[in-house]
Structure 1
């Protein structure tokens, strides 16, 4: 398996603190990857880990989820880590579902919670 090139990081509002802490915990591993993130999530990650090079896209409701979906479809994103809040209704839920569908169609590793994300970033877990 080839080394991962790009990881997309997204978190719903109630999960942004979890994502920032996750990034802090895995800063060394993430620093070896290209990171793209939706706008607000990317900002929170940069606050937590100033040394990380994070490309911030639009916020999710303003098209950031779709931007990442397009990057998945063109082969620019190799892994999706999306901390989903299953207890809060999302007005842009159709965009979120489309993003998860694209990750499935293009067969990239996808974590929707911290437990799975921890496994995906375990050194050697994906041959990276």
Structure 2
């Protein structure tokens, strides 16, 4: 499956900790990330990550385009709800696209953990079936 990893600046350390903890699961999938987050994941875990632009420079929109083309299966986006983001409309659009296209989205560590444990157990295989229908 294709999994997008995104984190606002104050959540990047949390994402690296999370990816490190779930490296055995994540290493079995194709990982994508916005620019800086992707480099931090590569440096912190050694995992292969396909990197897009940074979020404010269009990375969120690049991931959104993959969602709209049914080419992204899951999004893990550690958002910082306490800090204003200059690209908030892009963030809202990305979340909206996940809802429109039925792409599982986690915006915090607790939900991300549930998604990855479900992925490991095969509970998200319906994404593969829905992709085959299109």
Query: Greater RCO between the two (CA within 8 Å, min separation 6)?
Result: 1
Aligned residue pairs, count: 123
**1:66 equivalent in alignment to 2:43:** no
Question: Runs of at least 4 residues of structure 1 off by over 4 A?
Answer: none
Distance 2:71 2:12 in 1: 23
Higher helix fraction (1 or 2): 2
Per-residue CA distance 1:7-36 (angstroms, 9 max, x = gap)? 000000000000011110011111100000
State the TM-score, normalized to the length of structure 1: 0.93
Unaligned runs of 5+ in 1: none
Counterpart residue number, 1:47: 43
Task: Give TM-score, length-normalised by structure 2.
Answer: 0.89
- Return 5+ residue gaps in structure 2 as ranges: 126-134
1:81-115 residue CA offsets vs partner (Å, 9 max, x unmatched): 00000000001000000000000000011000000
User: Pick from 25, 29, 34: which aligns with 2:25?
Assistant: 29
